[in-house]
């Protein structure tokens, strides 16, 4: 692809009319990273497009100050989506059209989304393996924690009996979900829980006898996570349950070094580990644990 030299690029707030084009830019940029670094985003059908666009629309509504696009020649060529929940800032999306990458656009988009979280005590990013992304995040003061992604069809022969996990109820269990998420990452999902519910994301819950025996996990489209639990033992049960309830291929991401309980479950389920993900954090000593974040909401 030819590279545009000295392009005039404006960074401005996201508008409703930008959503389709911004989603297209993000999909193509991430698909290209997948080709180069050995992962696949899979098929993009109408349902996945609707999901991705609804995510942009949702964050544009909850965090308009953190939602920006880059425009060049009247076309959307980049997007940045940052959200603020409590005193946590999270980067949900950052992408630049391939022929305009490496010219400082990503930096401008990232700075704009970071500005939205300027008062936040902590920040987190679920990063792609693109070295340009890792450089941007590292230079913005984030500590980079390398992690595995695990994708495959699980062997259930070591699935523990009696996991004590039930289907969650988005109404009845909302407090439990947000309590556990807040305990782990310091901020609730808040309005993002409603979006997860609207998308038909499945919720699994363990509300065991003691506080330490509680956990929640969300399952969608073959992905296991967000997962939050009060102890490693409860977290491992939740991950097993999510794996057991996912037919076909399952993806478990962001398995950084402090999440040995999750790495152990993936190995017991004979799922392969590939060093591909990173979690970038600032204002916290390490990524939250036991916790598996979602790339969308943290
Ligand atoms: C990540 C991304 C958004 C960054 O946007 P960008 O416009 O390319 O970024 P910038 O030009 O502002 O910065 C790129 C930096 O990487 C550096 N860089 C370029 N190639 C590099 C390489 N192979 N290894 C390490 N650093 C590299 C550049 O020198 C620049 O750093 P500097 O400004 O300090 O010199 C963009 O490249 C992209 O869309 N990538 C694909 C999608 C993706 O992975 N998004 C991140 C999701 S978490």
| pLDDT string in tens for the chain (298-residue length) | 555 666 799 999 999 999 999 999 999 999 999 999 988 888 899 999 999 999 999 999 999 999 999 999 999 999 999 999 999 999 999 999 999 999 999 999 999 999 999 999 999 999 999 999 999 999 999 999 999 999 999 999 999 999 999 999 999 999 999 999 999 999 999 999 999 999 999 999 999 889 999 999 999 999 998 999 999 999 999 999 999 999 999 999 999 999 999 999 999 999 999 999 999 999 999 999 999 999 999 9
For residues 280 and 50, give the distance between their C-alpha atoms in angstroms, rounded to a whole number: 28
pLDDT number for residue 40: 86
Ligand 1 and 178: CB distance under 6 A: no
For residues 108 and 264, give the distance between their C-alpha atoms in angstroms, rounded to a whole number: 40
For residues 111 and 29, give the distance between their C-alpha atoms in angstroms, rounded to a whole number: 19
pLDDT number for residue 128: 97
Vertex 262: Cα angle to 256 and 263 (nearest 5): 70
pLDDT number for residue 201: 97
Question: 171 exposed, middle or buried (CB, 10 Å; 0-12, 13-18, 19+)?
Answer: exposed
Mutate to test the pocket of ligand 1, among 128, 132, 293 (most ligand atoms within 8 A of CB): 132
pLDDT number for residue 208: 83
Q: Helix or strand or coil: residue 96?
A: strand
pLDDT number for residue 3: 56
Nearest to 70 by CA among 110, 123, 119, 122: 110
* Residue of the CA atom closest to atom 21 of ligand 1: 132
Ligand 1 and 33: CB distance under 6 A: yes
For residues 175 and 185, give the distance between their C-alpha atoms in angstroms, rounded to a whole number: 15
Vertex 29: Cα angle to 25 and 32 (nearest 5): 145
Nearest to 184 by CA among 276, 91, 294, 94: 294
pLDDT number for residue 209: 84
For residues 29 and 43, give the distance between their C-alpha atoms in angstroms, rounded to a whole number: 15
How many whole angstroms from 132 Cα to the centroid of ligand 1?
A: 3
Please report where in the chains the tokens 């940029």 appear, as a residue.
29
pLDDT number for residue 42: 86
Contact status, residue 232 vs residue 290, Cβ threshold 8 Å: yes
How many whole angstroms from 70 Cα to the centroid of ligand 1?
A: 15
Ligand 1 and 133: CB distance under 6 A: yes
Q: Model's pTM, two decimal places?
A: 0.96
pLDDT number for residue 2: 55
Is the bond preceding 241 in cis, omega lying within 30 degrees of 0? Answer: no
* Residue of the CA atom closest to atom 41 of ligand 1: 29
Q: Helix or strand or coil: residue 186?
A: coil
Question: Strand pairing of 166-167 and 214-220?
Answer: unpaired
Question: 219 exposed, middle or buried (CB, 10 Å; 0-12, 13-18, 19+)?
Answer: buried
pLDDT number for residue 9: 97
Mutate to test the pocket of ligand 1, among 9, 30, 82, 102 (most ligand atoms within 8 A of CB): 102
The residues with which 228 forms a beta bridge, in sequence order, are 216, 291
pLDDT number for residue 133: 98
Distance of alpha carbon 278 from the chain centroid: 11
């Amino acid at each position: 692809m030819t590279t545009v030299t000295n392009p005039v690029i404006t960074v401005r707030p996201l508008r409703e009319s930008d959503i389709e084009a911004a989603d297209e830019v993000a999909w193509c940029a991430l698909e290209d990273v997948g080709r180069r670094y050995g992962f696949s985003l899979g098929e993009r059908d109408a349902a996945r497009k609707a999901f991705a666009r609804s995510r942009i629309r949702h964050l544009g509504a909850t965090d308009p100050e953190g939602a920006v696009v880059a425009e060049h020649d009247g076309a959307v060529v980049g997007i940045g989506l940052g959200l603020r929940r409590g005193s946590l800032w999270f980067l949900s999306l950052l992408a630049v059209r391939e022929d305009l990458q490496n010219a400082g656009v990503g930096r401008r988009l990232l700075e704009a989304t970071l500005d939205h979280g300027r008062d936040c005590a902590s920040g987190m990013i679920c990063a792609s393996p693109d070295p340009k992304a890792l450089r941007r995040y590292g230079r913005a003061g984030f500590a980079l924690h390398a992690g595995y992604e695990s994708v495959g069809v699980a062997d259930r022969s070591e699935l523990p009996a009696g996991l004590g996990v039930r289907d969650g109820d988005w109404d009845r269990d909302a407090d439990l979900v947000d309590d556990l998420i807040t305990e782990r990452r310091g901020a609730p999902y808040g309005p993002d829980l409603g979006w997860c519910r609207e998308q038909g994301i499945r919720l699994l819950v363990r509300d065991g006898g003691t506080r330490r025996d509680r956990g929640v996990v969300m399952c969608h489209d073959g992905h296991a996570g967000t997962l939050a639990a009060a102890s490693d033992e409860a977290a491992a049960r939740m991950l097993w349950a999510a794996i057991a309830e996912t037919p076909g291929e399952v993806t478990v991401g962001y398995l950084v070094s402090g999440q040995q309980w999750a790495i152990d479950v993936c190995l017991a389920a004979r799922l392969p580990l590939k060093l591909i993900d990173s979690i970038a954090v600032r204002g916290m000593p390490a990524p939250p644990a036991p916790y598996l974040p979602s790339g969308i909401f943290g």
